[in-house]
């Protein structure tokens, strides 16, 4: 197989990863606040009701930590979505691995190139996750909701062309309770200069999202 240089569009794919590794995915997540319960009436020995001290309720976090993203998918899923990739994947360094973790797989098999990212982000509350979810969707157009996936899920596929080489990339963002699961999946054919069709990329990204979401739930047991 001839050795082919990656086009600029795919080489540039590494830049966001480097930024994420440096910045640690510094998304703004507001701190959760606890609410104070009102005074409760209690009876003294003489039967006179008195007000007890206010009780505070700490918000329950469904997900406390981010699981290992490189163990989030079945090996057969990885080999199917990224032919030729090492199934172990490569985890991207994070400034706070307790709450933000990302794993990447990529490979060039003959002329067919694929790249897959699985990312987890655990926030302080459901409300913070809702805000982060909305921010991720605010800069996207097209696509639509994915029914039956987490509390909310969105999928979008875009096609880019650079130096006559097409690349098609799909993104799936899922919110479940106080956590986000984000999948990025793209591909190119260097022989035909074409990209995989929309259905192939979209279904592949959604399949990865379902498995990653299940791994998140299993990791809390």
pTM of the model: 0.74
List pLDDT tens digits, range 32-65: 333 333 333 333 333 444 444 444 334 568 999 9
pLDDT at 97: 85
Confidence bin at 127 (pLDDT 50/70/90): very high
pLDDT of residue 221: 47
Q: What's the pLDDT score for residue 95?
A: 79
pLDDT confidence tier of residue 6, bands split at 50, 70 and 90: low
Strand partners, 105: 116
Residue 133 has pLDDT above 50, yes or no: yes
Which band of pLDDT confidence, cut at 50, 70 and 90, is reported for residue 96? confident
114-141 mean pLDDT? 94
Residue 168 has pLDDT above 70, yes or no: yes
Higher pLDDT, 11 or 176: 176
Mean pLDDT, to the nearest integer, of 18-35?
36
Strand-strand pairing, 165-176 and 179-189: antiparallel
Range 159-182 burial, b when 16+ CB lie within 10 A, else e: eeeeeebbbbbbbbbbbbbbbbbb
Structural domains for the chain: 62-218 (3.40.1000)
**Contacts of residue 128, Cβ cutoff 8 Å, sequence gap at least 6:** 29, 30, 31, 32, 178
- pLDDT tens digits, 63-83: 999 999 999 999 999 999 999
Tokens representing residue 55 in the block:
């009780």
Residues 121-141 have a mean pLDDT of 93
User: Span 188-214, mean pLDDT?
Assistant: 97
């Amino acid at each position: 197989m001839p050795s082919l240089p990656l086009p600029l569009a795919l080489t540039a794919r590494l830049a966001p990863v480097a930024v994420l590794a440096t910045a640690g995915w510094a998304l703004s997540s507001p701190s959760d606040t606890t609410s104070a319960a009102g005074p409760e009436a209690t009876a003294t020995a003489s039967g006179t009701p008195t007000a007890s001290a206010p009780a505070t309720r700490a918000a329950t976090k469904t997900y406390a930590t981010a699981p290992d993203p490189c163990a989030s998918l079945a090996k057969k899923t990885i080999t199917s979505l990224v032919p030729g990739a090492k199934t172990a994947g490569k985890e991207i360094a994070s400034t706070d691995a307790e709450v933000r973790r990302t794993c990447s797989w990529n490979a060039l098999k003959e002329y067919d190139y694929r790249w897959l990212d699985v990312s987890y982000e655990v926030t302080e509350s459901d409300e913070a996750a809702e805000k982060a979810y909305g921010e991720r969707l605010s800069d996207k157009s097209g696509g639509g909701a994915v029914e039956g996936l987490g509390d909310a899920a969105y999928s979008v596929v875009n096609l880019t062309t650079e130096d006559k080489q097409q690349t098609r990339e799909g993104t799936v963002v899922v919110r479940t309770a106080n956590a986000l699961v984000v999948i990025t999946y793209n591909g190119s054919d260097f022989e035909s200069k074409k990209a995989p069709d929309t259905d192939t990329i979209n279904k592949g990204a959604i399949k990865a999202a379902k498995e990653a979401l299940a791994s998140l739930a299993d990791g809390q047991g």
